[in-house]
Each structure stands twice: as C-alpha cells, then as structure tokens.
Amino acid sequence: MSDLKRIGFIGLGIMGKPMAKNLIKAGFDLQVHSRSNGPVKELVALGAKETNTPAECAENMDAVITMLPDGPDSENVILGDKGVLSGSKKGAIIIDMSSIAPAISQKIASSCESIEVEFLDAPVSGGEPGAIEGTLAIMVGGKQAVFDFSQDVFEALGSSYVLCGNYGAGNTTKLANQIIVATNIAAVGEAFVLAKKAGLDPEKVFNAIKGGLAGSNVLNAKGPMMISGKFNPGFRIKLHNKDIRNSMLTGSNLGVSLPITSLVQQIIVSLVNEGKGELDHSAIANFVEKINDQSIS
C-alpha cells in the first residue's frame, strides 16, 4: 500500500456504503460522514470512525472520498461552510467519485489548487453490484502524479481505472458512458416489446441474442429485470435523469448536437413525472410498454 492510508469517506448511500466497506477490507483506516445515521453506524461497527461534519471527516486524512447525488451536493460538501476543503491538510487528495457536471468538477479543482490540496474527479460505472463486488469502472480526471499516487484506492474499489484527461475529464467520460447506457436500455426495451407483441418469449429472445453482436453488459444486467418486471433499484431513474440532463447541458456548452440522447431524455423525464424515479433505470422499458399497451413480463 502507498502512503495513502487514512481515508475520509462522505456519502454512504447505495453506492457509497459498499465502497467504504471495500476500503476497510483493503486495510485503509476510515472515518466517515453521511446524512443517514444507519449506514454510519454500520461502518463504525466494521472499524470506521464517525465524524460530525465534512470538515471533521477531512481532518488529518491523506485523502477524502465523496460519493454524492449531484453537483450542488459536491460543491456544498467540499467547498461549503464546514466543508471538506476547510478541514483538509496541504497535500491531501480530495477524490470526488460523484457523477456531476464537468464544469463543477473544474470549479472544485480550482478551489483545491488555491490552497495546495490535490483533486481528482473520479465517477464510476457498475451500479450497486459493482460497488459491492469492488468491480467498478472508474473514470478519472486530474494530474497524472496524483492519479498514480491514488491507485491503491482505486484498486480496492474497481476492476478498471483510467486517467481520461485533466480536471473534468472523468465526468465528461461518465456522461459519455451514461448516454450509451440509457440509449442501450431504451433499445433493449423496444426489442423485447416487439418480440412479445409478435408472440415470442422474451427470455428465449434474450438467450438467443446475448451471445451475438447485440450482446452487452447492459443487456445482460438489465434484460432479466425487464423480463421479470422487477425493477428494484441498482441505479435509479432519477439519477440517470440527472446524468442525461448534465449530458445535454455539456453538449449545449460545447455546441454538440445529441439528438438520440434528447429523445431518451424525454422518455426518462416522462417516467420521473409518473412517479417512477425511484425505480431501477431498466424501467425505462416501462415507457415503451405503456405506449404499445404491451408488457414484457
């Protein structure tokens, strides 16, 4: 293990809690902070130390990891009153693993640099299963030297980790990832509705196509959920809505047209407005089922 041994971890939700557990298993000394007390107590029982504020969670730590819902949350927790930055020592590393707009990552990085604190934006893909198993794909933006120094942390959390560029590059890569995932889920939903409407068994269709060119991690992970009609959240629709919104905003800022993403955004917004934002994003298929009056399950 490198000299990165003492880690503060903030945000113990669906993703953050198992990630924090994996850091403890890997031998890191952890102190934690979260809005929900239950997960904090669970981590304390495994050896972590409880802290009362983000600033306290950062005190004397070699690095602080944040895993939060959206950009304003990262900005507030890191830069706000009693935030991580106010408690961080010089040379410490703040690793924001939240999926947020790249421009916010760049703003946070600038504030960190101004007081000699290092920063990486390092969003992840793999959902709750990947967080539990420690097989997340980690997309990183920042300095090469800081990335290299942090690799023991990434090894404890993921099966792959790639430095994609400077500050914000991790989150730009995550937006590209989320575009591919959302459009793929929508396509799988359409394909299964078509098959069911034609009188076929979607499970047999799934088994027939998963080994061919249409096969993908999305098909393997989300197809069975559509077929069963069970959408317990591994990654919620409302969070994918946030990611697609950030994709469209970033595209607009860069002058990039994203017509297919725009269509999927309308589907996702419709589902959120129907009260389905808490469902797993495989329930994007519900939109196709509804407009065709045809259930997949």
Cα Rg, the chain, nearest whole Å: 20
**Cα(28)–Cα(79) distance, integer angstroms:** 25
Residues 260/212, Cβ–Cβ less than 8 Å: no
- pLDDT at res. 2: 58
Please pick, among 17, 21, 174, 196, the residue that the annotation labels catalytic.
174
pLDDT along the chain (297 residues), means of 10: 85 96 97 95 97 97 97 97 96 97 97 98 94 97 98 97 98 97 98 98 98 96 97 93 96 97 98 97 98 98
Length of the chain, please?
297
pTM: 0.92
Residues 6+ apart with CB under 8 A from 195: 201, 202, 205
| Token pair of 198 as six digits | 């034609």
What kind of fold does domain 173-292 have according to CATH?
A: N-(1-d-carboxylethyl)-l-norvaline Dehydrogenase; domain 2 (1.10.1040)
| Torsion angles phi and psi, residue 239, rounded to 5 | -75, -35
Which of 45, 234, 228 is closest to 125 using CA atoms?
234
Tens-digit pLDDT profile for residues 145-178: 999 999 999 999 999 999 999 999 999 999 999 9
Torsion, Cα of 77, 161, 158, 174 (10° steps)? 60
Tens-digit pLDDT profile for residues 213-237: 999 999 999 999 999 999 998 889 9
According to DSSP, residue 102 is labeled H
Asked about 174 being catalytic, the answer comes back as: yes
CATH of domain 6-167: 3.40.50.720
Contacts of 253-256 with C-beta under 8 Å, sequence gap 24+, read 253/103
Delimit the domains of the chain by residue range.
6-167, 173-292
